Amino acid sequence: MGYTTPTPIQEKAIPVAMEGRDVLGLAQTGTGKTAAFALPILHRLASGPPKRGIRALVIAPTRELAEQIHQSFTELGKHLRIYSVAIYGGVSKGPQLAKLRRGAQVVVACPGRLLDHVDQKDINLSNVEVLVLDEADTMCEMGFLPDVRRILGHVPEDRQTLLFSATMPKEIRALAVNILKDPVTVQIGTIAPAKTVSHALYPVPDILKKSLLMAILKQTPTTRVMVFTRTKHRAKNLALDLGKMSYKVAALQGNMAQNARQRAMNGFRDGEFDILVATDIAAHGIDVPDVSHVINFDFPNTADAYLHRIGRTGRAEQTGEAFTLAGIADGPMIRMVEKELGARIERRRLPGFNYGNFNPENELSESRTSQRAATEPSNGARPSRSADRIWPRTGQVWHNGKGPSNPGKRTTSSGSKPGSSAGQSRRRRRV
């Protein structure tokens, strides 16, 4: 695995977890949280008396993260004869059940498919000794907390629980209070991006975004690059456009079949592709070495999403750069992100690029992005997820989920509001 010295989160969390204590682990993405819970679990299962059944359960928000954690258990435990299985949707249940019947003691699962197995009595969780909730804040954002609470009803109360999160919204704090027993809190630095990542904003009108991205890629020395878009459709089309420019590129988004998603991930990790164009949901938990740059083609809708996106670079103490293409409508979200970072993000003009009548130096200046400051929290705290959200493409503002403040009601394709239970249900099924 290439480990020589533990990362700070590993150094602090592993001894406590090996004592059997509950752990609340808070650290930036890319700091080695997976090994911080996988190693103590493997030690516990290998050093205790042999038992049948599922002894450790890890809940993860996305297929890619579940598969990645499963691979970590496989690598770390290959000499211990301790086997794991990844449980997620989008693929046949048969092979997953076959691995369970062959004696897998560690299950790494996405909530929806796991509950399907539990409801059909294919999986028995009554022997679980250790429960891990990884990227708990992401599960909260994706609407999985009701599923997580259902899963908690199927595992023994007398268990060890490890909860890891890169950020700590109020919903996760409430969950931690309910499920952790006298936990040890392990926090590495502030809940913010790794200090190895530098940030820059490139002001640009939407019509010039694609041209600016091409120019940035042409001028910037890179290794592997992740480009984030807001929609699945845009991720697909942008990857096609980059491919036409002879870039080695793949798309990763929720409408793709699981085998296609896995090919894209493996190709990016193995060097077949230099650029991965991804949406937020599909890309959570990606751990690929040597990602030199993250480029936000579209500004994320929450500050937490920004932190998760740029956490794909600057991992394991390596340096990385995060570039964001931003328009005037992104000003309020820029201020939220800058509050999270505790610093103003540098605004840049790309030398030699033809902006036409657009003046990057004047757009997204501090005075412009301060226009909505009075409506934001003044204590530096993260805005609540139920607070106002600005939809940059339309300029609409949703007030506490009660509808847009300007005409033209914004709905999902089925007529439900963003954030409604119907919208969250659809989104969960695609993960």
CATH, residue 151: 3.40.50.300
Residues 299 and 322 in one domain: yes
CA distance 315 to 15: 23
Q: Assess whether 149 and 216 both reside in one domain.
A: no
Instruction: Give the residue carrying structure tokens 């996305």.
Output: 62
CA 84 and chain centroid, separation: 22
235 and 136 both lie in a single domain: no
Q: Strand 389-391 to strand 396-398: parallel, antiparallel, or no bridges (unpaired)?
A: antiparallel
pLDDT tens over the chain, length 431 residues: 566 788 888 999 999 999 999 999 987 666 788 999 999 999 999 998 888 899 999 999 988 889 989 999 999 988 898 999 999 998 889 999 999 889 899 999 999 999 999 999 999 999 999 999 998 888 877 788 899 999 999 999 999 999 998 777 788 888 888 999 999 999 876 555 556 788 999 999 999 999 999 999 999 999 999 999 999 999 999 999 999 999 999 999 888 887 888 899 889 988 999 999 999 865 566 778 788 999 999 998 888 788 878 877 866 567 789 999 998 889 999 999 898 888 899 999 999 999 998 988 777 765 555 554 444 443 333 344 333 343 444 444 444 444 444 444 444 434 444 444 444 444 444 44
Cα-trace Rg, the chain: 22
Does 37 reside within a domain?
yes
Same structural domain for residues 249 and 176?
A: no
Distance CA 322, CA 248 (A): 20
Contact 279, 116 (CB under 8 A): no
Domain containing residue 99? 8-187
Q: Encoding tokens for residue 122?
A: 């294919």
Q: Which residues contact 246 (CB under 8 A, 6 or more apart)?
A: none
Residue 389 lies in a domain: no
What is the Cα–Cα distance from 139 to 62, expressed in whole angstroms? 9
Residue with tokens 């040597």: 290
How far is 283 from 228, CA to CA, in rounded Å? 9
- Residue 384 lies inside a defined structural domain of this protein: no
Domain count, the chain: 3
Which residue, 187, 212, 240, sits at the end of a domain?
187
Helix (H, G, I), strand (E, B) or coil at 121: coil
Distance CA 75, CA 408 (A): 53
What's the pTM?
A: 0.64
Q: Are residues 94 and 209 in the same domain?
A: no
151 and 201 in a single domain? The answer is no
In whole angstroms, give the CA distance from residue 417 to residue 65: 28
Residue 331 lies in a domain: yes
Spatial CA neighbour of 230 closest among 309, 292, 311: 309
Residues 152 and 251 in one domain: no
In a domain, 2, yes or no: no
CB atoms within 10 A of CB 269: 18
Q: Is residue 404 part of a domain?
A: yes
Pairing, β 106-109 against β 160-165: unpaired
| Termini Cα distance of the chain | 28
| Single residue among 346, 375, 404 that ends a domain in this structure | 375
Residue 236 lies in a domain: yes
User: b/e for 14-33, b at 16 or more Cβ within 10 A?
Assistant: bebbeeebbbbbbbbbbbbb
Helix (H, G, I), strand (E, B) or coil at 194: coil
Any idea which residue has 């936990």 for tokens? 183
Q: Return the sign of the alpha-carbon dihedral for residues 381, 382, 388, 390.
A: positive
Residues 323, 288 within the same domain: yes
Q: Cα 302 from chain centroid? A: 12
Give the type of residue at 335: R
Residue 361 lies in a domain: yes
In the listed set 187, 213, 237, which residue is the last one of a domain according to the structure?
A: 187
Identify the pLDDT of residue 55: 97
DSSP secondary structure letters along 358-421: --TTTTT-HHHHTTTGGGS-SSSPPPPTTS-EEETTTTEEESTTS-BSSSS----TTSPPTTSH
Report the pLDDT value the prediction gives residue 348, as an integer from 0 to 100.
93
Looking at the fold, whether 299 and 181 belong to one and the same domain comes out as no
Q: Are 285 and 218 spatial neighbours (Cβ–Cβ below 8 Å)? A: no
**Residue 295 and residue 413 share a domain:** no
Helices (H), 184-328: 209-219, 232-244, 258-270, 280-283, 303-310
Q: Give me the pLDDT at residue 73, please.
A: 96
Whole-number pLDDT of residue 168: 76
Contact of 269 with 286, CB cutoff 8 Å: no
Residues 367 and 227 in one domain: yes
Distance from C-alpha of 204 to C-alpha of 324, rounded to nearest angstrom: 10
Residue whose structure tokens are 């139920």? 386
- Are 161 and 16 found together in one domain? yes
